[in-house]
A and B are shown apart, each in its own frame.
Chain A
Amino acid sequence: MKIAMFVEGCYPYVVGGVSSWVQMLLEARRETDFIIHSLLPDRQQSGQFKYTMPENVLEIREAYLNDHDVVKPFRKKTKLSDEEKSCFRKLIFGENIDWLGIFCFFEKDNISVNDILMGEEFFEIVQDLYIEKYPQCVFTDFLWSVRSLYLPLFTVLKVPVAEADCYHAISTGYAGILACKGHYLYQKPILLTEHGIYTREREEEIIKVDWTQGIYKDLWIRYFYTLSSCIYDCASQVISLFQQAQKIQLELGCPKEKVRVISNGVYVKQFENIQGKDPEDTFINVGAVLRVVPIKDVKTMINAFALAKMKVSNLKLYIMGPTDENPEYYEECLEFIRGFQVEDIEFTGRVNVKEYLGKMDMTILTSISEGQPLSILESMAASKPCIATDVGGCKELLYGGEKDSLGRSGIIVPVMNVDKIADAMVTLAKDEALREDMGYSGRLRVKAFYRNEQVTRTYGELYEQYKDGK
């Protein structure tokens, strides 16, 4: 059985939650062969794998969103026939999109993205869209914005997809579209697992950015909605990690009969006999397992820690995870620490979490955006209480879902709220009994609902279910 898996901007180039999850699944499904289609922003990271490939991975196929327009010499100019033009019109207008027509078009030999985007047919479609919906804008800006919008999509659509028994996308967006291409071309089923909600994450990003304004932000948002709708329509199952994410999927138009939740998991046994805290260690240790990148909002964490340390002087913060992904941000964090003149903060770099977690009294995660963080699950498996911001599935993990009466296994705080985060640290630092209660509750919850064995078994069943295109 061969599964083609589609990932964007993570595995196997970036260490993190989604990448670890993929690696876990690949290692657990030894009897299944995998081809990984990985989308990168450009060729800079090409071949720089951060994980050791399990034997059941046959190929990694790298494609690039910002790539050159690769064509053969002595070719005919790419032009759209009337039928093809109609397909592109539907795509750009976002109405009754004929994805099969689009995918078949990009399967043709020697397609030039330049020719399409700069061609007369595409121009006419954009002009019609402009006249119909945006006649007040500066036309040239509009035209170039639409061209920029579809450039990465068309680049991705040119990528040849491997034939497989089942296609599994780990997000919507470009990875989802490429999986859909395989699904349409080879008539094989497609599964979607969303760790975060890609469309919402992009929407939040676009709202904040300043490189585009006004209606162009709407265009970008609508564009990502269009990409999501493609895979929501053709996927056999749409999986989310937690209930809240599922609700958003439904809001985004995913058919109700397709959705299901399969939570993240950890191997609980691996956290049973981990090394505990040194009895002579007088510090209250706070652990943060994360990549030092802006989305984790490490600066707020440092700020809150500085505030908490003023009340609990023996607090110590361990920031565990790679610092090389965004060196500038790491430098800013160090500058922040120097600015606050706060002591007892240690960046450990990439470590074996199991060696450190036992020594912690609590863990913390101050992310701006999350799916269902593996680090919280690991913390719970290690019986450590956790402070986490109210993003993604964190609340469900720490406070339990609808059918869960196991109690709280940590404290949920608002995003970027320094005072509340500091208060939570102080509360846990001062109350050892509370820490133990929450740790105990967390371990029980992980054992009950978030076991890797369960996750891999479920995916195995799913793969079997859709084996041979059934």
Chain B
Amino acid sequence: MAGIGFELKRLFKKEGVFSTIFAGIYATAVTIGPTIIVIVALNIMYMLPPYIEIAYRDKELLSATILYVFVFALILASPINIILSRYVADKIYEEDYDSIYSSVETGSVLIAVFVGIMGIPFGCAMYFIGHLPLYYIFGTYMFFAGLSFTFYYMTFITVLKEYRKITFSFLGSLVVGFLFVVISVFWFGAAIVDAILFGLMLSFMLIAMILLFFIKRSFVNHNGNAGELFSYIKKGWWLILANALYIWGLYVHNFVFWFFSDYKIRVAEVFQSAPTYDMATYLAMISNISVLVIFVVNVETKFHTAYKAYCESIIGAAGKDIRRTKQKMIETLRRETIYIVQIQVIVNIIVYVTALVIFPKIGIEGVVLSMYPALSIGYMILYLVQCLMIYLFYLDDQKGAPLVGLAFFAGTLLGTLVTVKLPPGMGGLGLVFGASCGFTAAFFRIRYKLIHLDRHIYGRGKIVKQVKSAKEQKSVTIYSFQTMKKGGDSN
């Protein structure tokens, strides 16, 4: 979320209970708000009587379609968003608002291309292997595109500063989608599965368009420098890679279960999934996500301030002031990390105990409940990895961040390949292992970076152009007159 820090700082600066509550709601809204809204909307749609009455296979198809669209839209948009977020944050800091719209255009083209690259082959598979009707494929594709664009445009939310309008546009679009479902089912007698799919497609296309409308309205001037974002992508390849590895790690354990577990199912020949494991994952994610909100607030308000003070001291302060601000920044990082670990553990225990009591009462039991504890611990550690990765991004750790992503991804993949065949209660231990690998790597990497922070800050770049010469060093040019002399002698 580009520029979220500016807004959070403003909100948390205000004293009083209501301000704090509002700031908390704001932070929740911009970090996980859209997810919550979508979950609620989906559940409402699922509660419609025609949905309850349809065949289980149709329900499975719709669930699998929605799952795939969400997972792959996130996999697609997230790495691009991370670089865009940095770009937009830099432009806000530089007050160069004219460059922002150009990046919107460039990013949109990129998203469209990636949607095509991922969506068209899958669409073909849906048609030729799954024998699904073309309109359903079209609906899925457009839903995927709409969601990918929505994820992308949401990066600009904080730049727009029209939170209320955006929240209402989100809600409004979903209401329109819901109405569309109701009208098409009850009025025109459409199939509920198709209606929900097209309703969602309509909602997200609408959200994407409304966001684009707001962006266009806010940035009337644009400098046409569309290529600048590419130079950011070139410079920030490590950010993209680290984020991509993290996102893949986030889902790779699901993929392993989709293909290798005893819980795997195949819907319409193309949608491979493991609903039991996916449900347990979903619950583990939801029950731990509050930590992310707390972390974002703490990083953007406390750590960012300390980090900024340190950076400013480097530019123009005496050595003792630099040491002081550096120490303060390290202390803030240490304190906030310990704090977030403590909070995470407490929240996890509370949620875990609550879940054990509540889940059976709402019909979640059996295998899902067995899988939940390990996955909940996995998600607890996984979110800590994400938090530490954000520190690594701050510290500009171009090697460390992708390495942490890799440790997390590879650990999760290998771990889950081992645990996939174990009893359900141990299935999530693969994620625990992978997240622990990521956490260990991140912890030691941050420690290493802080120890060698001076080298990193002051030792970057080159003082003079470096020329690589395969031949003998050419720091000296030799003009030899000996040969000429010898030639002259022989004559």
Q: Does A63 contact B (CB under 8 A)?
A: yes
What CA separation (Å) do A261 and B477 show in the bound complex?
A: 34
- Return chain B residues, CB-CB under 8 Å to A60: 478-479, 481
B265 at the interface (CB under 8 A from A): no
Residue of B nearest to A117 (CB): B463
Chain B 353-375: CB-based contact to A (< 8 A → 1; otherwise 0): 00000000000000000000000
A139 touches B319 (CB 8 A): yes
**Separation of A5 and B22 alpha carbons in the complex (Å):** 79
Quick check: which of B55-63, B73-81, B130-138, B310-318 contacts chain A, the rest being far away? B310-318
Q: Which residues of B contact A185 (CB under 8 A)?
A: none
The answer for the CA separation of A114 and B463 in the assembled complex, in Å, is 6
* Contacting pair B317 A47 (CB below 8 A): no
**Which residues of A have CB within 8 Å of B465?**
68-69
Q: Is the CB of B468 within 8 A of A72?
A: yes
B461 located at the interface, meaning its Cβ lies under 8 Å from any Cβ of chain A in the complex: yes
Complex CA gap A159/B465 in Å reads 17
- Are A118 and B475 in contact, CB atoms less than 8 angstroms apart? no
Contact indicator A139/B463 (Cβ below 8 Å): no
Q: Beta-carbon contacts of A57-68 to B below 8 Å, as 1s and 0s?
A: 111111110011
Interface residues of A (CB under 8 A from B): 43, 46-47, 53, 55, 57-64, 67-73, 110, 112-114, 117-120, 123, 127, 130-131, 135-140, 143, 147-148, 151, 155, 158-160
A46 touches B462 (CB 8 A): no
Give the nearest-CB partner of A131 in chain B: B319
Q: B44 at interface (Cβ–Cβ under 8 A)?
A: no
* CB-nearest residue of chain B to A109: B473
Query: 4 shortest A-B CB distances, which residue pairs?
Result: A68-B467, A120-B455, A139-B319, A62-B477
Q: Known A120-B454, A123-B455, A135-B320; judge A71-B481 contact (CB<8 A).
A: no
B490 within 8 A of A: no
As a 0/1 sequence over residues 452 to 491 of chain B, the CB contacts with chain A under 8 angstroms (1 = contact) are 1011001111111111111001111111111001001000
From B459, B461, B479, B481, contact of A119 by CB (8 A): B459
Which listed residue, A47, A68, A139, A160, touches B464 by the CB 8 Å rule?
A68
**Cβ of B316 and Cβ of A47 under 8 Å apart?**
no
- 8 new A-B contacts at CB < 8 Å, known A67-B475, A123-B455, A137-B318: A68-B467, A73-B469, A114-B462, A114-B463, A123-B458, A138-B316, A139-B318, A140-B315
Smallest CB separation, A383 vs chain B (Å) = 38
**Interface flag for B322 (CB, 8 Å):** yes
* Identity of the chain A residue whose Cβ is nearest the Cβ of B473 in the assembled complex: A70
Whether the pair B479, A59 counts as a contact (CB closer than 8 A) is yes
The residue in chain A whose Cβ has the minimal distance to the Cβ of B468 is A73
Determine if A143 and B477 form an interchain contact, defined as CB atoms under 8 angstroms apart. no
CA of A179 to CA of B467, assembled, Å: 26
A58 touching B463 in the complex, CB below 8 Å, given contacts A70-B469, A123-B458, A140-B314:
no
Minimal Cβ-Cβ distance residue in B for A118? B459
- Whether A57 contacts B481 in the complex (CB less than 8 A), given A69-B466, A114-B466, comes out as yes
Shortest distance between the CB of B482 and any CB in chain A (Å) = 5
A130 contacts across to B, CB distance below 8 A: 319
**Contact bitstring B276-316, A, C-beta under 8 A = 1, else 0:** 00000000000000000000000000000000000000111
* Interface-central residue, B464, B474, B482, by most chain A CB under 10 Å: B464
Report B-chain residues with C-beta under 8 Å of the C-beta of A118. Answer: 458-463
**What B residues does A46 contact at CB under 8 A?**
477
Q: Which of A59, A117, A138, A158 contacts B478 (CB 8 A)?
A: A59
For A37, the closest partner residue in chain B by CB is B476
What are 20 A-B contacts defined by CB distance under 8 Å?
Answer: A59-B480, A59-B482, A60-B479, A61-B479, A62-B476, A63-B475, A68-B464, A70-B473, A71-B467, A113-B463, A114-B462, A114-B466, A118-B458, A118-B459, A118-B461, A120-B452, A127-B454, A139-B314, A151-B464, A155-B475
- Among the listed B317, B455, B461, B462, which residue makes an inter-chain contact with A138, where contact means beta carbons less than 8 Å apart? B317
Contact with A along B229-265 (1 / 0, CB 8 A): 0000000000000000000000000000000000000
A57 to B467 CA separation, bound complex (whole angstroms): 30
The reply to whether B480 and A139 contact each other, CB–CB distance below 8 Å, is no
Residues of A within 8 A of B485 (CB): 55, 58
A160 touching B476, Cβ below 8 Å: yes
- Chain B contacts for A73, CB-based, 8 A: 468-470
Contacts A113-B464, A123-B454 hold; do A70 and B316 have CB atoms under 8 A apart?
A: no
Which residue of the partner chain, among B462, B473, B480, contacts A158 with CB atoms under 8 Å?
B473
Distance of A139 Cα from B317 Cα, bound (Å): 7
Contact A59 B476 (CB under 8 A): no
Tell me the complex Cα distance, A406–B407, Å. Answer: 89
Chain B residues, CB < 8 A from A148: 463
- Min CB distance B476 to A, Å, is 5
**Contact across chains for B480 and A136 when beta carbons are under 8 A apart:** no
Partner of A159, one of B316, B468, B475: B475
Chain B nearest Cβ from A120, distance in angstroms: 4
Contact B477 A140 (CB under 8 A): no
CB within 8 A of B481: which of A59, A113, A117? A59
Chain B proximity of A344: nearest CB distance (Å) = 43
Taking the nearest CB of chain B, how far is it from the CB of A116, in angstroms?
10
Q: Beyond A120-B452, A120-B459, A130-B319, is A69–B464 a contact (Cβ under 8 Å)?
A: yes
CB distance from A130 to the nearest CB of B (A): 6
Q: In the complex the two chains form, what is the Cα distance from A189 to B460 in whole Å?
A: 41
Residues of A within 8 A of B452 (CB): 120
Q: Which residues of B contact A68 (CB under 8 A)?
A: 464-467
Task: Given A117-B463, A151-B464, answer yes or no on A136-B318 (Cβ-Cβ < 8 Å).
Answer: yes
User: Residue B479 contacts which of A62, A67, A143, A158 (CB distance < 8 angstroms)?
Assistant: A62
Return A371 CB to nearest CB of chain B, in Å: 27
B454 CB contacts on chain A under 8 angstroms: 120, 123, 127
Chain A residues closer than 8 Å to B318, beta-carbon distance: 135-139
CA A113 to CA B459, docked complex, whole Å: 13
CA distance A137 to B459 in the complex (A): 19
Smallest CB–CB gap between B429 and chain A, Å? 40
Complex formed: what's the CA distance from A94 to B485 in Å?
45
Question: Would you give the shortest CB distance from A214 to chain B, in whole angstroms?
Answer: 14
- One of A43, A151, A159 near B463 (C-beta < 8 A): A151
Whole-angstrom distance between the alpha carbons of A9 and B2 in the complex?
54
Chain A residues, CB < 8 A from B467: 68-71
Q: Which residues of B contact A112 (CB under 8 A)?
A: 466
Contact B314 A58 (CB under 8 A): no
In the complex, A160 Cα to B478 Cα: how many Å?
11
Name the B residues within 8 Å of A139 (CB-CB). Answer: 314, 317-319, 322
Query: For window 302-351 of chain B, which residues contact chain A by CB distance below 8 Å?
Result: 314-320, 322
Q: Which residues of A contact B469 (CB under 8 A)?
A: 70-73
Q: Which residues of A contact B458 (CB under 8 A)?
A: 118, 123, 140, 143
Shortest distance in angstroms between B473's beta carbon and chain A's nearest beta carbon? 5
- What is the distance, in angstroms, from B19's C-beta to the closest C-beta of chain A? 38
Instruction: Give complex CA distance A138, B316 in Å.
Output: 6
- Least CB distance, A174 to chain B, in whole angstroms: 13
Contacts of A131 in B (CB 8 A): 319
User: What residue of chain B has the Cβ atom nearest to residue A36's Cβ?
Assistant: B479
Q: Cβ of B460: which chain A residues have Cβ within 8 Å of it?
A: 118
Closest CB in chain B relative to A60 CB, distance in Å: 4
CB of A47 within 8 A of CB of B479, answer yes
Residues from chain A with a CB closer than 8 A to the CB of B488 are: 55
